[in-house]
Structures are given as C-alpha cells and as structure tokens.
Amino acid sequence: MANVDDDKRFAGSIPRLYDTCLVPLIFEPYAADLVSRLQVSPSSSVLEIAAGTGVVTRTLAAELPETVAIVATDLNQAMLDHAMAVGTRRPVDWRQVDAMHLPFDDESFDAVVCQFGAMFFPDRSKAFAQARRVLRPGGVFMFSVWDEIAENEFADVVTSAVAAMFPEDPPRFLARTPHGYYDRQVIEQDVEQGGFSMPPQFHTVAARSRATSPRIPAVAYCEGTPLRNEIETRDASRLEEATEVAAAAIAARFGTGAVDGKIQAHVVIAVK
C-alpha cells in the first residue's frame, strides 16, 4: 500500500543522487526552457517554490539581471542544504517554506516559478491561490509538470521493471506522483480554483533524455527519487537488485551503450 507521505520524503542520499544523476538527465533542459519564458524587469522580484536541489535557481541566477531579487524555497531542508552547498553565481535568499502556506505579504513578487513541484502539493488549487496572493497585479505564475508516464520512456521502463519484482504490491511512485498530474482540463480547473480569472497558457514540450549508460537512469530513478523509499519499504536488501533490474530493462530497449529516451512535460503560465 502506498504511503503518500513517502512521496515527499527526499532525505538521506537522495538529494545528492537526485542532483548528480536526475538533474542532468531530465531537469536541466526544462530549467533552461522555463527561465527563457520568464520576462521580468531589472527591478523585479522572483519567488521559486519547490526549488529542490536548485537547478532552476541556478539558471535564474545566471540568466536574470543581477538586480532581480530571487527567493528560492522548498519544503525539504535536505534538498535546500544540497542546493546551497552547490551554490549560485550570485546571492539567493534560500528558505524552507511550505507552498501551501507561503510566509510572504500579499503582492510581494512579480513572478512565481515552480518546476516539477505542483504534482507533490496535497491541495493544488490552494497552493495556486497562495502563488496568486503573493503576486503583484499583472504578475506571472509559471510552473511545469510531467506528462503521463507513457510519454517519458526511461521512467516508464523503470516502473515496469521494478513492478515485476514486487507483483503483489508494485511500487508506483513514478506513475502516481511525478507523472500523475498531466490532464490539461484538471490543471486548468485547479488554476481557475486558485483564483486566476484568465485561462492559463499551456505548452507541451518534448525533449530527449540522454546518458552514457543504462545504469545512469536506473540509479537516478531507483536511488535518487522517493521510488527508493517504496523499494526499501518492501525489502531494503533489494535496492541494488532493483537498480540492476531497471538498468537491464533500459539496456534491452535502448542498447547497452549510450541511451536516448523521450521525455515530455507541460509548461503552464497564468497571469494575475
């Protein structure tokens, strides 16, 4: 039986593996895409929620004018600790914050951005209402979510391979949470219920996920995400086996050398 609280538990070695394996595998191209869509004035302030290990934060700090103030937040202190240890090219205000209860005044920011965090919010319309509350009039809320798992090949292969190890209680974290919030109508309804009066813009962005070997995505997903928590809950002694099974499944489909799989996400832009 799934424990949804474990879906949000990024602790232990997960932050390091997440940043070193998963970030270059799937997150970096979307960080660049997200920041390229953000248009702010030199005097603007930007809030990032669910910053994780800081891939978008680093891109914001590198690409936006140095006069733009950046506040980066996440629920998980372990993820923030890793992000701060990696650092940014200029100062960023890092804070542990729950996106459901943003501790900022009304109309404090010109933009709120969130890459692949909305799927983890227990009440998305409430979180979206918080984002809207802290935006100034005309401000933009921009967030990305993964498309369904069938459109994300490595994640799909890993999920099927690991499920076969535990047929009576298959781990479904990847399908349930990262790839479980993709329906456009549902997302648009949540944005509307969050108080945004204009329909959001919706962009579907396909990209490629590349690694030098099948083991890299296997480690990334099995050991660098909360899928690890599900595997270890079933049998902690089988984590390495699960990683090897996932690597073999990726190799069977994509080859034993460098691998290249499709990834796909939605970028949603709402204006206050």
> How does pLDDT run across 4-18, given as a tens digit for each residue?
555 455 556 577 888
Among 197, 176, 179, smallest CA distance to 188 is for 197
Q: Who wins on pLDDT, 201 or 11? A: 201
Q: Is 180 a domain residue? A: yes
**What is the mean predicted confidence (pLDDT) over 49-53?**
95
Q: What pTM was estimated for this model as a whole?
A: 0.93
Q: Is 236 a domain residue? A: no
When divided into structural domains, the chain yields a total of 1
Mean residue pLDDT across the chain: 94
The pLDDT-based confidence of 19 (bands split at 50, 70, 90) is confident
Range of the domain at 70: 4-148+171-208+264-271
DSSP the chain: ---GGGGG---TTHHHHIIIIIIIIIIHHHHHHHHHT----TT-EEEESS-TTSHHHHHHHHHS-TTSEEEEEES-HHHHHHHHHH--SS--EEEE--TTS--S-TT-EEEEEEES-GGG-SSHHHHHHHHHHHEEEEEEEEEEEE--GGGSHHHHHHHHHHHHHSTTS---HHHHTTTS---HHHHHHHHHHTT--SPPEEEEEEEEEEESSTHHHHHHHHHSSTHHHHHHHHHGGGHHHHHHHHHHHHHHHH-SSSEEEEEEEEEEEEE-
The pLDDT-based confidence of 206 (bands split at 50, 70, 90) is very high
Q: Is 132 a domain residue? A: yes
DSSP 246-270: HHHHHHHHH-SSSEEEEEEEEEEEE
pLDDT of residue 16: 81
Q: Is 255 a domain residue? A: no
How far is 130 from 126, CA to CA, in rounded Å?
A: 6
Look at residue 178 and tell me whether its pLDDT is greater than 70.
yes
The CATH code of the domain that includes 31 is: 3.40.50.150
Q: Is 182 a domain residue? A: yes
Q: Is 16 a domain residue? A: yes
pLDDT of residue 9: 53
Q: Is 256 a domain residue? A: no
Q: Is 89 a domain residue? A: yes
Of the listed ranges 16-20, 32-36, 161-165, 228-232, the least confidently predicted one is 16-20
